[in-house]
Amino acid sequence: MTLTRPDTHADLIEELDARVREQVRTEGVDPQRDALIVRRIAEDVVRRHDERSLTGAVVPVADPGAVVGELIARVSGFGALQPFLDDPEVEEVWINDPSRVFIARRGRHELTNLMLSAAQVHELIERMLKSSGRRIDISQPFVDAMLPEGHRLHVVLEGISRGFSAVNIRKFVVRARRLDDLVELGSMSAQAAAFLDAAIRAGLNVLVAGGTQAGKTTFLNCLAASIPGGDRVVSAEEVFELQFNHPDWVPMQTRQAGLEGTGEIRLRDLVKEALRMRPSRVIVGEVRAEECLDLLLALNAGLPGMCTLHANSAREALVKMCTLPLLAGENISARFVVPTVASSVDLVVHLGIDAQGVRRVNEIVSVPGRVENDIIEVEPIFERVGGELRRGAGMPSRLERFERIGIDLHQILNGVH
């Protein structure tokens, strides 16, 4: 391939991109897996171009480092979206149509000036799904997948969405790994963090609730970091999102059906399978449907666990926890589910986002196990009043579990150090 003298920066990038791709093919490099080799090839191509520019045959590169980064994004990354994926402040990227690309920073969204073509969006979707091993087609017009960096991809195929395929990339921006980190970020008080740490170590069952982007998965990760190292943890998710350090942890994710329509593994299948793996703790990334029944049965049998759920308050989370198991079949009744939820869930933590986009714990309630007129009673342990998370009047259930591991719960809740 002979490089001609480009007229614009865009022409220069196109020619250098072609040279990098040619070299990648020649060396048999997988650009998704061997990003470091792609970087080396891109640096070599730019360096050789700069050497030729000294003869006047080609124009020089104004910013070699930036050009190398752009080439890597085009060949090994995800093109024009890569700068947003690399930006630690960007939490989410979504494409409504090729001319409307949005991003979210710290809980607030904004329209970017990025303009793509339909072909570019189609190529991006194909490249992202290639790295995940999942597919999308007319028979399977929705897909959830995990990108190599841990970001979650959701695509709705054109025809289901009007005009163009809709793309959403939710980045897993790690700002907190432990409950103490959430205190530093202002999400909750040190007293509330100490209580939750003690509750996890004591083996209480915790339901984390909140709206979209309220930080439920991050909070679940921080809770999981408090699980004692001697416990065996088994988790089940739609796609891998949980990221915490534990010496004995088996993470599992669902699988979509193959081209022949078989081989699907649902979240409910994973919850059932988890119970056969001798877990000390079970974690479900998010319950949305009938898998709630299987998790509920596990918790009711004495197996400590945690999960997340979409809800607008702690009480609504319990109502939803009572409703979802009914999807499992006509033989499941509310008369069975409501008291089972009351006796199985120990704590509900509700999260929210304030007007400034800051994620906060709104309330932590205890579920003492009492039901009155089909309504599960709750006791507020912490509640947000006037922007401050304050100690409520309630007490958690299962106090004997705290005593068994030597935790003085009264000392924690009374703020005595």
| pLDDT tens-digit map of 170-201 | 887 767 899 999 999 999 999 999 999 999 99
CA distance 134 to 299: 32
Same domain assignment for residues 338 and 321:
yes
Q: How many CB atoms lie within 10 A of CB 143?
A: 20
- Considering the domain architecture, whether residues 248 and 353 belong to the same structural domain is answered as yes
The phi and psi torsions of 196 (rounded to 5 degrees) equal -65, -40
Q: Averaged over 122-144, what is the pLDDT? A: 81
Q: Which of 170, 198, 217 is the last residue of a domain?
A: 170
d(CA 52, CA 209): 60
Q: What integer pLDDT is reported at residue 320 of this predicted model?
A: 96
At what angle are helices 9-27 and 35-53 packed, to 10 degrees?
130
Does a structural domain hold residue 4? no
Does 164 lie in the same domain as 197?
no
Number of domains in the chain: 3
CATH number at residue 161: 3.30.450.370
pLDDT band at 417 (very low <50, low <70, confident <90, very high): very low
Do strands 371-372 and 281-284 pair parallel, antiparallel, or not at all (unpaired)? unpaired
Measure the CA angle with vertex 51, ends 45 and 52; round to 5°: 90
Residue 391 pLDDT: 94
Mean pLDDT, range 39-44, rounded to an integer? 90
Rounded distance, CA 174 to CA 165, Å?
Answer: 28
Do 267 and 405 belong to one domain? yes
Q: What's the average model confidence in pLDDT over 249-259? A: 88
Q: Does any domain span residue 64? A: yes
Range of the domain at 73: 9-77
Instruction: Tell me which residue of 415, 352, 363 sits closest to 389, measured CA to CA.
Output: 363
Domain end, chosen from 153, 170, 187, is at 170
Per-residue pLDDT at 2 exceeds 60: no
284 with 199, same domain? Answer: yes
- The predicted model gives 287-305 an average pLDDT of 92
Q: How confident is the model at residue 386 (pLDDT cuts 50, 70, 90)?
A: confident
Q: Which of the four pLDDT bands, split at 50, 70 and 90, describes residue 3? A: very low
Q: What is the pLDDT of residues 52-92, one digit of tens each?
A: 888 888 888 888 888 887 787 778 778 788 889 888 889 89
Q: For tokens 């999308």, what's the residue?
A: 136
Q: Which of 34, 260, 219 is nearest to 137 (CA)?
A: 260
Classify the phi-psi angles of 260: left when phi > 0, otherwise alpha if psi is within -120 to 50, otherwise beta: alpha
CA distance 287 to 324: 8
Q: Contacts by 230-234 with C-beta closer than 8 Å and gap 24+?
A: 230/280, 231/280, 231/281, 232/277, 232/278, 232/279, 232/280, 232/281, 233/279, 233/280, 233/281, 233/282, 233/283, 234/274, 234/277, 234/279, 234/281, 234/282, 234/283
